[in-house]
Chain A
């Protein structure tokens, strides 16, 4: 099988002689003007890691304030700003850029392309996203506005009307919030268009849709979902700005407008957004679990079908965020049932991952540990989700810490765990060095223990009636001990993340040299050198099965003999 045109055996020498080495300034300039999908992917990851630390610090400040009753660490106003910024940052400046960073870096390599479909649009999208993030944070300095009141936005990440109207949110804080999300929304839209076009039109020879790695498949699904998810938010933000600047009445209840329609518009964006964030997490797990079980993924077609089903069903569940606004019982029943329906394709996925683990020779490396944590926590998150989808149950627990615990189980327990898994898995590809395994295990165990101390306990606080978004509470409610426990867990997670950041930085210089294929994996990105050359593939690869690198390593037993 020596004539199989897959591996890049001889790489064009691109090193420059020492006399022509560029200065630091030239190197930085190169990163700013780059249109290379790999560099943009790294920029996305660094950008979102930065904001992960910022929003994590905000969460810790919130937890310090709530650690004991009648605390005065933060004032009520500052507390409101912190939870607004924490939520907005984590969703728009951490979650999505992380996942688009992975998509940028991995998708072209996995489908055997030399770059994204539109490299300049790609750079434009990144810088729009980055500008949106810094615009949002500039509100801390510039949000006071003409009236000298207000600061960072304090309207909550869902910014319910009429709280966002001029009379209740004077100054420019809310405008910063709306404009930042419009700007970064355009960046997101550009990236989504780019990923769809890349996956549909740039696949290498032989890579039919049903031979595409599941990571690429899920990113295709996510990007199509993003197209119709982020845009309603942009539309609603435009309406908000029309209200605030041109005297419009979209959400002005005094002129016949409706605050309810904002809630609808926001969640028409907001709930599919959860799937926009979680499907790339599934995508990462789909790559890592088979490689570290030494088995092909179980039920590939079912995984694809389940992902597409989630995409469609997720568009019709938004009002389960709104059971307490007083909808008709028909609406309540519809959204209860459609929400439960999401559990079916999601359950299929969980069973497929378990079936992949079954009988595998599992290697418990750091990426795999994070994926196993993900499986366990995502299952619990799904179960509390089913509980909350039952509208009478939701009437009891809506806006309580039970809901906070549920969605942090998804956002942290599933998504952040998979993001960490993905970083440990692809770091050697991007840098040529492995991350330190001992520090990685410390990171995993501390993070998992801290996670469970925090968010398991939060469920009980919710059941005991503690509402979200309160900045302090009375000492006689019986919440004191549990709140202290939650805060301690938060700090354990903070320490774990600092270990991760230390590992991330130090391994770049001191990590073990990885080689092209450190995990003995099967997809095309591992056929390139680490880090890959700017052109990715010297010649266009050609694939005949879902695991092209397996075929290459095992010419006596290639996959294509088993796939249709």
Chain B
């Protein structure tokens, strides 16, 4: 940037620093990981320690469809990232729309699961330790999905109006990074709650 000559022995190095947005999002993800770790530890610690029913084995069903939807949304958002980098905006909107649809299916499936647990099985936060830890861990993850869905829907709306182009690809990449994190966390939550904990 400097216009003046530099008197230092000619070692003018190329000066590239990482994108501040990516670094910031990575830092946020590091912090969020610690929050999730504490909730996962609490879940594992209290596994099988409930004094009363219902137990996970009695009431939980493995949400296979929801999991497939959420995990494949990482793939679709990756396609959307590629599309916006190459300035193929039609393709971008389609892939982004697909991501939103998959996330919405996931959330709807969680909502139905909770409805069944609450009204059929009588499991609430205050029923037993399983209820407390289950709703807080899965709910914490679902909250992150909601936040991500809000971000994605905003970008989707903007792109319908044609306000998004490849100049925003770096910013979109940051949102995608967050979304990949939300998906990766689900793998942990799914494993702990539905595979090990059941």
On A, residues with C-beta under 8 Å from B are 1, 3-5, 117-118, 121, 189, 192-194, 196-198, 200-203, 205-206, 223-224, 227-232, 234-236, 238-239, 242-243, 246-250, 255-258, 261, 265, 268, 539-542, 544, 560
Contacts and interface: CB of A to CB of B under 8 A. Distances in A.
A156 to B, nearest CB: 21
Contacts of A256: 46, 49-51, 128-129
B4 A197 contact: no
A336 B19 CA distance: 41
A230 B38 CA distance: 12
Nearest to B11: A544
A224 B21 CA distance: 16
Contacts of A198: 20
Nearest to B33: A228
Given A231-B32, A248-B136, 12 more contacts: A5-B6, A118-B24, A196-B27, A197-B21, A205-B15, A230-B31, A231-B35, A231-B38, A235-B35, A235-B39, A265-B38, A540-B2
Interface string B20-52: 110110011011111101110010011001110
Interface of B: 1-8, 13, 15, 17-21, 23-24, 27-28, 30-35, 37-39, 42, 45-46, 49-51, 125-126, 128-129, 132-133, 136
Given A5-B6, A200-B23, A232 B126 contact: no
A122 to B, nearest CB: 12
A383 to B, nearest CB: 31
B32 A249 contact: no
12 contacts: A3-B5, A5-B4, A193-B27, A193-B28, A201-B20, A202-B17, A227-B27, A248-B136, A255-B128, A255-B129, A256-B46, A265-B42
Contact of B38 (A235, A539, A542): A235
B31 A192 contact: yes
Given A201-B17, A202-B17, A261-B42, A249 B126 contact: yes
A189 B24 CA distance: 11
B136 A242 contact: yes
A307 B157 CA distance: 46
Top 10 A-B pairs ranked by shortest CB distance?
A247-B126, A201-B20, A235-B38, A231-B34, A248-B132, A540-B1, A197-B24, A117-B20, A227-B31, A5-B4
A238 B125 CA distance: 13
A547 to B, nearest CB: 14
A118 B46 CA distance: 40
A236 B38 contact: yes
Contact of B2 (A118, A257, A268, A539): A539
A560 B8 contact: yes
B8 to A, nearest CB: 5
Contacts of A189: 28, 31
A201 B6 contact: no
Contacts of B18: 200-201
A107 B154 CA distance: 34
Given A3-B5, A542-B6, A249 B128 contact: yes
**Interface SS of A by simple majority:** helix
B51 A206 contact: no
B20 A239 contact: no
Given A231-B31, A235-B38, A246-B126, A5 B2 contact: yes
Nearest to B1: A540
Given A205-B1, A256-B49, A196 B23 contact: yes
Given A242-B132, A250-B133, A256-B129, A544 B31 contact: no
Contacts of A248: 125-126, 132, 136
A118 B22 CA distance: 12
A100 to B, nearest CB: 15
Given A231-B32, A234-B35, A239-B136, A196 B129 contact: no
A4 B9 CA distance: 12
Contacts of B17: 200-203
A224 B32 CA distance: 13
Contacts of B19: 201
A212 B133 CA distance: 45
A193 B8 contact: no
Nearest to B21: A197
B34 A232 contact: yes
Contacts of B125: 242, 246-248
B4 A193 contact: no
Nearest to B132: A248
B38 to A, nearest CB: 4
Nearest to B17: A201
B137 to A, nearest CB: 10
Contacts of B21: 197
Contacts of B51: 255-256
A3 B38 contact: no
A257 B129 contact: yes
A228 B31 contact: yes
A243 B132 CA distance: 8
A206 B15 contact: yes
A1 B6 CA distance: 9
A234 B39 CA distance: 11
